[in-house]
Each structure stands twice: as C-alpha cells, then as structure tokens.
Structure 1
Amino acid sequence: MALRPSLFRPPMLSPLPADTGRRRLLRAAVLGAGVLPVAAAFPARASAEALRTRQAGSRGAPTTGVNGDQGYESAGSFEIVADFYGPGPSGVVVTDAGRIFVGFPRHAVNHKGATLGELRQGKVVPWPNAGLSLPSSAAPADRLMSIHGMTMDTQGRIWAVDDGKLAGQPLQPGAAKLVCFDPETGHLLHRIILAAPALLPDSHMNDLRVDLTHGQAGTVYVTDSSFGHSPALVVVDIATGRQRRVLGTHPSTQAEPGFMAMVEGVPLVYTPGKPPRFVVGGADGITLSAGSERLFYAPLTSRRLYSLPTALLADPTVSEAALAAAVRDEGEKGTADGLATDAQGRIYITNFEHDCILRRNTDGTFDLMVHDPRILSPDGIFCTKTHVYCTLGQWNRLAGFNGGQDKRKPPYHLIRFPIDPVVAYDAEEKL
C-alpha cells in the first residue's frame, strides 16, 4: 500500500472568504455534490473571547461562533499528514522523534496489506517486520491479525490491541491479544493472549491505555465495544497476564437503545436487534488522566463520558459492586470514538456527528479544535507534546451500513493540528 509522498506535511492553505465558503457548501448541499475541497488549514480559534479580542475595533464582529458562522465553515488549523489508498487507517502512534506508526484493522475488510506499519518516505512499511504484519500461515497467536487501538506508555513503548478478527471469519483462539514493542529495535516485549472469560466469542477488543503506576509491571485497560451486544472493560496485569472482565452490565459500558445520531446529515437510530445503519457499539473511547489517577471511557453509542479511579480498577480484590459504585458520570461529550489526553490533562474527543474534534478542558468546558467536511469518522487519536494526530477512516460509509454498497472515497486521511493556537500576526496593529 503506497501513500502519495507529496501529501506529507503540505503547506498550509489559505481560508476561503467567509461568505464564499458558506455559499459553496450550501450550493453543494442543494446540488447533491460530494465533499468539497475546503482549505486544509485555518486561523486557530483558541476561544471565543480571544477571537473577539483579535477582531475588535475596526475589524468588526466575529465571523464564527455566536451570531456568526452557523457551522458551515471549516474551523481550526490542521494539516493532512498522509493520504492512504487501500486499507483504511485506525490506530496511530507518533514518537518523540516524529516516527509515525499506523494500524490497519482487518475486521471490516480482510485486506492483504500490513496491519501495522510505519510511514517511511511515502510508503507503509510492514512493522516490526513483514512476517508479523502481513498475512501468513502462522498460527493466530504468532502473528498480528487485525491491529486496532494503539498507544504509547510513559516509557516510550508502543502498545497495540490486536482484535484478532478477520472479516467474515469467526474469532480464532490466540488471535485477540495485546502486544508491546520497543520502537527503537522493533523487538516484541510483551504478548498477552486474551482468553475467556475476559474474552467472549463476540468480543471486539477496540482500544487500550497503559498505566505504569499500578501493578508490578503496570496495568492495561481495554475497551471491548463488542461485535454483538456484550461490551465491557477488560483489565490486564502486565506482569502476570491475569485479566478480568468488569462492568459488563453497567450502563457506563453499554450502547444506548434508541440513540440517534446525525451522520453526514442523515438522522440514524440505533435499535438493538436490527442491522445498524452506522457504526455502533459499547465501551470504545478510552484515555487516562495525565497522572494516570483516573481512567476515562465512553460507549460509542452514547453521549456520556465516564471515569473510574485506577487504584480501584487495577486492584483485583475490588468487587464488581464497588467498581460500579465508583463510576463517575462526567457529563456529555458528544458522539465520540477516540479519546486522548495531553500533558495538561485536557481530553481530545473525536466527533463523527459534527465532523470535528473537541477538547474537554479540566474545568469541564469545551473548545472546538478542528471542524471540516473531510473529518469523516475520526477514529484513532494521539497526542504528542505539540500536536494531536487523528485518522479518518470513513467507517460510516462501509458496505455493511449502506445496504451492501461501499461508499468510501479514498484517500483516507491522517491529520494533525497544534495543541497550542497558531499565532496570529497583524503588521498594522499598534505596538
């Protein structure tokens, strides 16, 4: 699978004039046009107040926000890091040195490319090697089947959840597992096979976070969003491989019956027992607080965000009832898939309903970081010290949600945007 090298780190594009952009979007909606080639980067909007300050005086009222743009314009500064053809991307990790690793799961489409790859000079290089990442006759436990969620621990090691599922095939013994690699050498440091009773036949081990503050070697928290109707959290002790399934019947891990989302302008409702028309599931997005004191998680088919103290969650002696009592409802967060935390403890939330990425600040307020018609099914999300990276897999356009017709339109994007606002300069401003 190749990438177009010319799309690595492209120059920032200029914004469309406010009225022009809105007219084009409205015209496209009326004429049934596809996704518009809207500008890739726009002046950052750190906050409504900052925007008003910059536009004060003779420059007039704000062009976005209250009484301004009604949600048609692109917002926030972001750039396309890479475009993908072939398999769609999901998990992503970026090292301090700038190396980019991407997962390409096989549970929706059983592709023949790498399921874990590093982006190098315009190519997806199977990583850590072709023997592990490419399809082979090796036993499911001895190769990577379908890499989905990815993360990096505080020691700089790359972790990934292999959901083990190949499209159209049952989950095989040994296929679902957690893997940990040294990014410098590519050596496999940990391989923990997930098994019953933590693993169910319809499990979809979706995403993970690694807490090195609890347990002899640390603890891994996994969301099982479920290919059926049995979601839960799974807690894995790294040193022993001991694993347990928790909160499997608690509301905080469950998809909400009757949940409605607006997906590309179409109102879609989740009805258990009926074929889904959009991506649905239980516990999915997951992230740790900056110091690993709390685990935040959310069902995919829900607008609620929940959290738990990791001291309780990592302790195998804490009862299910005690865990349930400790769950904190953190309020609404929108329709989220991926979650990620920056060094300041702020949580970045992908939002497939509004084609955007939000930031939940530590005081519970939210900022709109980026919004654009191309941000379709924002999925894997990862924070570096300076940027947030996110994969856009167009999962809502898969054939399974569209009457057997695959409506995805490659390329699929990997984007990034700065954590701190882009500095705005004005040569006419008085000193």
Structure 2
Amino acid sequence: MMTIDRRRLLLSSAALALAPTLANLVSRSAAAAGADPLETMAESKDTLWNGITITPDGRKFVALPNWLGPSAGAGEIGKDGVLRPWPGNEWNAWKPESDPTKTLVSVNAVRLNPKGDELWVVDSGAPLGGKRLPGGSKLVVFDVATGAVKKVHALEGIFEEPNAAPNDIRIHGNHAFVSESGVGSIVLLDLTTDKLRRVLVKNPLLVMDPAKRPVVIDGQPLKNAAGKPFGTNANQLEVSPDGRWFYIQPLNGGMSRIEVALLTDPSASEAQLTEGLKFFAETPPLSGTAIDAKGNLYLNSVNDRSIKKLTPEGTLSTVLSDPRLRWADAPWITPDGYLWLPIAQLGWTPMLNGGTSKLEWPSPLYRMRLPAA
C-alpha cells in the first residue's frame, strides 16, 4: 500500500508564476496571450495517474495504473493536497498472493456515475506483464460517501480471449458502456437487470492500425515490449449528452459512432450493429477524451501534445498545443468550464522504452479553461 509521505502532492496556487524553465515550454499561442493556459493543480512525486473524476462537491478521485508495478489502483486527492489510496483498505493492497476478486489488480479507469454518489472502477485483472487472473477482471462500484463496495460486476464470463482487456467506462441512462481494448469490442451492462453483453468483437472500426496512425513520442514511433508498433484497440469512448450517439475509437485514431438506441437494443443483431457503426471523423492517436454539455468532444492528441476539439458535426480544430502534455490521459470537465488533465506519461514508461524510464517527475495534474464558444 502507498504510504502518505511517498504519495504527497504539491498544490500550487493559480496566482504563482511558473518556473522559468517551465515557462519556456508554453505554447506560442499561450505566450502571445500573456498567460499560461495550464494551471498546475497537483503534482505526484513518484506515482502515475491516468484518469480523474470529480464529484459535484469537489472531491477528486484518480486512477492509479500498475504501469510501474503494483499500485493502489484508485486514490483521492484530499483538500490538503495529499494523494491517499481510496477507499484505503484491502482493495488497494493487491499482491501476487491476494484474492483478485477482492483487490484492485490493474485499474485503468475510474468514473463517477451521473449522480456523483458512486465511483465505478474498471479493473482488467491483469498484473503488469501478466495475464488476467481468475476473477480479476471486473467493475467495482464503490459508495462515494462511505467507501463501501456496493456491487462487483465480474467480467470474466464474457471474455473468451486471454488478451481481452476492459479499458474505460461511461454511464448514461440505464447502461454502463465499457471499451475492451485487448481484442476490440464493446461491453454493455444493463443497470436495471445487471445483464452483460459484448458486441462488435473485432469490428474493423474498433481495431488499431498503427501503420496508418502511428503513436509518435519524441519524434519516434512508439513500440511495445515486443518491438512492434504500439497501440490498443477499442479505447476512448463517449456518450453524447442527449443520449443519442455513442462514440468510440482505437487509441491510434479514427473515430466512429453508433446510435445509442441501436447499440443498447438487446434484439439488435451483430449484422445490424455492424451496419449501424459508422466512421465519423479522422482523428489522431488519442490518450483521452471528454465531452461537454453541447456535445463537443475534447481530444488529448498524443503525437503533437495538443488538445483538440471535435464538434458534433465532425469539425476538428486545435485548442492548445503544449510540450508539457506528455500523454494527458482521461480528463474531466467541471461545470465551471475547466478541463482537468492528468499527465500519465505512458509513452515514457520503462515498459515502452526497453526497460528504461524516461519519466519526468513530478507528474502534474493540470486544468485549463475551455473556450466559451
């Protein structure tokens, strides 16, 4: 389990100027405006975070992946600036001998439900460099107020392939939507019946194409531990605020969408779903997405370290480019118009650099004001 002193965060005031070396990295557009668009809200000295979700009253929960070895899986940034394992018990203390059904083995996403009273945690159940443990692949639903587990949705029964891996989650209406990035598929959980369904397995629009859209880090195509071009299948996903569209893409890019009514129709055949999933927009490799109340998608573009905006009509533009966006992962939009950006640095981890760490510490949590229009 993490110790408090090793996971301490350093909050910085929005009124303080950034250090000169950091200020030199600010994008030209920001410099021209005379202000730094990235406000440092917290810094982690030695722990990577790859997602954030914020309650209506301001509690901040983060996903803590096991990219550097066993981790707590989920944490909360307190008002005192300290990152603590959350809920702070045996769930955060996975070890090889632990029961994988009752610990967080390999968390890739945390997400609040629309009411903000439940924290949903996506656990692939696979230790770093290993295969899924029996019973380890699951969705764990925690009560935000108490930290108690309300429900565990076991996913093992719907995955036939050893490399299937639940990735991210969105909750809308009567369904939870989970992207499965190992093979490339979508998992649907009916919240009224607790029934799970897996659809569009290996659909070409959900499968990565690293040759066409390579992930580029520091000018070089990123490769995995096996020396092959890096990428993942069905990864980023969003549901439009009106509940009409479900968006999804492989990490490597090319966004598609399907109508939610069709996707969640239990009588819809695979052929109908395949017909309904349509290519929507040419997008670059993305490390994270968020959607605002108007249906605009904000995309964390890996290769050029930028934030892009994709409108419901399919128009793509760049909001901000900044070298500090080293794999800005799953962001969160707050009602006051801020985009919160945890810097995950996945492309600089030892597992993607031949065992050599190219990480920069501390790893920040930024927020930026979204454009009004």
Name the TM-score class by shorter chain: 0.7 to 0.9
Aligned counterpart for 2:370 among listed residues 416, 419, 426: 419
The C-alpha deviation readout for 1:125-181, integer Å capped at 9, x for no partner, is: 221232212225542111222221122222213222111121133211111111222
The C-alpha deviation readout for 1:18-43, integer Å capped at 9, x for no partner, is: xxxxxxxxxxxxxxxxxx52368789
Between the aligned partners of 2:163 and 2:367, the Cα distance in structure 1 is 33
Aligned counterpart for 1:130 among listed residues 81, 89, 109: 89
SS at match of 2:261: helix
Note closer, same or farther for the CA distance 1:9–1:368 as it changes in structure 2 (3 Å cut): farther
Corresponding residue of 2:350: 399
Note closer, same or farther for the CA distance 1:383–1:123 as it changes in structure 2 (3 Å cut): same
The C-alpha deviation readout for 1:368-402, integer Å capped at 9, x for no partner, is: 33321111111111111121112111111122222
Aligned counterpart for 1:38 among listed residues 11, 15, 23: 23
Pick which of 2-11 and 319-328 moved more: 2-11
Q: Which runs of 5+ in 1 are unaligned?
A: 17-35, 46-61, 65-73, 213-217, 423-431
Between the aligned partners of 2:228 and 2:15, the Cα distance in structure 1 is 39
Aligned counterpart for 1:223 among listed residues 179, 185, 189: 179
Corresponding residue of 2:61: 101
The C-alpha deviation readout for 1:273-308, integer Å capped at 9, x for no partner, is: 962354x11111111101222111110123x11111
Q: 1:17-416 maps to which residues of 2 (within 5 A)?
A: 37-38=22-23, 77-106=37-66, 108-111=67-70, 113-120=71-78, 121-135=80-94, 138-156=98-116, 157-198=118-159, 200-212=161-173, 218-226=174-182, 230-261=183-214, 263-268=216-221, 275-276=227-228, 278=230, 280-302=231-253, 304-386=254-336, 387-416=338-367
TM-superposed CA distance for 1:269, in Å, is 7.0
Compute the TM-score of the two structures, normalised by the length of structure 2. Answer: 0.88
Corresponding residue of 1:28: none
The C-alpha deviation readout for 1:323-367, integer Å capped at 9, x for no partner, is: 010012111122212111111211111111111111212333234
Pick which of 192-201 and 372-381 moved more: 192-201
SS at match of 1:170: coil
SS at match of 1:141: coil
Between the aligned partners of 1:42 and 1:398, the Cα distance in structure 2 is 24
Note closer, same or farther for the CA distance 1:5–1:243 as it changes in structure 2 (3 Å cut): closer
Note closer, same or farther for the CA distance 1:44–1:152 as it changes in structure 2 (3 Å cut): farther
SS at match of 1:357: strand
TM-superposed CA distance for 1:194, in Å, is 0.3
Q: Is the 8 A contact 1:90 1:105 kept in 2?
A: yes
Paired amino acid for 2:219: V
SS at match of 2:307: strand
Corresponding residue of 1:71: none
Note closer, same or farther for the CA distance 1:143–1:269 as it changes in structure 2 (3 Å cut): closer
Pick which of 395-404 and 93-102 moved more: 395-404
Note closer, same or farther for the CA distance 1:410–1:14 as it changes in structure 2 (3 Å cut): closer
The structure with the larger Rg is 1
Between the aligned partners of 1:332 and 1:12, the Cα distance in structure 2 is 39
Paired amino acid for 2:74: L
Note closer, same or farther for the CA distance 1:9–1:234 as it changes in structure 2 (3 Å cut): farther
Q: Is the 8 A contact 2:139 2:152 kept in 1?
A: yes
Note closer, same or farther for the CA distance 1:420–1:258 as it changes in structure 2 (3 Å cut): closer
SS at match of 2:120: strand
Q: Is the 8 A contact 1:117 1:124 kept in 2?
A: yes
RMSD of aligned alpha carbons: 2.9
Q: Is the 8 A contact 2:184 2:207 kept in 1?
A: yes
Q: Is the 8 A contact 1:75 1:372 kept in 2?
A: no
Between the aligned partners of 1:173 and 1:392, the Cα distance in structure 2 is 31
Between the aligned partners of 1:99 and 1:340, the Cα distance in structure 2 is 18
Between the aligned partners of 2:40 and 2:229, the Cα distance in structure 1 is 28
Q: Is the 8 A contact 1:392 1:413 kept in 2?
A: yes
Between the aligned partners of 2:120 and 2:135, the Cα distance in structure 1 is 17
Paired amino acid for 1:179: V
Between the aligned partners of 2:202 and 2:214, the Cα distance in structure 1 is 23
Note closer, same or farther for the CA distance 1:219–1:241 as it changes in structure 2 (3 Å cut): same
Corresponding residue of 2:15: 11
Paired-residue identity, %: 25
Between the aligned partners of 2:349 and 2:331, the Cα distance in structure 1 is 20
Paired amino acid for 1:231: G
SS at match of 1:323: helix
TM-superposed CA distance for 1:44, in Å, is 8.0
SS at match of 1:80: strand
Q: Is the 8 A contact 1:232 1:246 kept in 2?
A: yes
Pick which of 155-164 and 345-354 moved more: 155-164
Q: Is the 8 A contact 2:26 2:322 kept in 1?
A: no
Note closer, same or farther for the CA distance 1:128–1:6 as it changes in structure 2 (3 Å cut): closer
Paired amino acid for 1:392: I
TM-superposed CA distance for 1:97, in Å, is 1.1
Paired amino acid for 2:157: A
Q: Which runs of 5+ in 2 are unaligned?
A: none
Between the aligned partners of 1:399 and 1:15, the Cα distance in structure 2 is 28
